[in-house]
Structure 1
Amino acid sequence: LIGHSMGGALALALAADYPDLISKIVVVDAVPCLAAINDPAFKSKMNNDCSATVNQMTGMTNDQFYDMQKKTMPSLLADTTKLDMVVDWSVKSDRTTFGQMYCDFFNIDLRERIAQIKCPALILLESYFINLKPAIEGQYRNLKTANFQYATTGLHFIMYDDTAWYLGQLSTFLKQ
Structure 2
Amino acid sequence: MKKYILIIALLFSALCVNVFAQTKSYPFEVIKTGKGKQSIIFIPGFASSGEVWNETKAAFEKDFTCYTLTMAGFAGVKPQPNPSFENWKAGIANYIKDNKIDKPILVGHSMGGGLALAIASDYPDLIGKIVVVDALPCLAALSDPSFKSKENNDCSPMVTQMAAMNETQFYDMQKQTMPRLLQDSSKLEMVVDWSVKSDRKTFSEVYCDFFNIDLRERISAIKCPSLILLESYFINLKPAIEGQYEKLKTAKFQYADKGLHFIMYDDKEWYLAQLNNFIKS
Residue 59 (structure 1) aligns with: 164
Partners of 1:16 and 1:28 in 2: CA distance: 17
Partners of 1:74 and 1:173 in 2: CA distance: 29
Matches within 5 A, 1:16-165: 16-165=121-270
Runs of 4+ in 1 over 3 A off after TM superposition: none
Letter in 1 for 2:155: C
- Could you say which structure has the higher helix fraction? 1
Partners of 1:161 and 1:58 in 2: CA distance: 32
Among 109, 129, 133, the residue aligned to 1:4: 109
Q: Give 1:61 shift.
A: 0.5
Q: Give 1:55 shift.
A: 1.3
- How many residue pairs match? The answer is 176
Partners of 2:223 and 2:129 in 1: CA distance: 9
Q: TM-score, length-normalised on structure 2?
A: 0.62
- Secondary structure of the residue aligned to 1:16 is helix
Letter in 2 for 1:123: I
Q: Give 1:171 shift.
A: 0.8
Q: Give 1:4 shift.
A: 0.6
- Secondary structure of the residue aligned to 1:147 is strand
For the aligned residues, what is the CA RMSD? 0.6
Partners of 2:250 and 2:208 in 1: CA distance: 29
Identity value in percent: 76
Partners of 1:21 and 1:15 in 2: CA distance: 7
Q: Give 1:105 shift.
A: 1.4
Per-residue CA deviations over 1:124-145 (Å, capped at 9, x if unaligned) read 0000000110000000000000
Q: Give 1:101 shift.
A: 1.1
- Secondary structure of the residue aligned to 1:14 is helix
Letter in 2 for 1:31: L
Per-residue CA deviations over 1:149-169 (Å, capped at 9, x if unaligned) read 000100000100001111111
- Secondary structure of the residue aligned to 2:144 is coil
Partners of 1:59 and 1:6 in 2: CA distance: 25
**Greater Cα shift, 21-30 or 54-63:** 54-63
- Secondary structure of the residue aligned to 2:229 is strand
Partners of 1:6 and 1:34 in 2: CA distance: 9
Partners of 1:64 and 1:145 in 2: CA distance: 43
Residue 86 (structure 2) aligns with: none
Partners of 1:91 and 1:143 in 2: CA distance: 35
Letter in 2 for 1:133: K
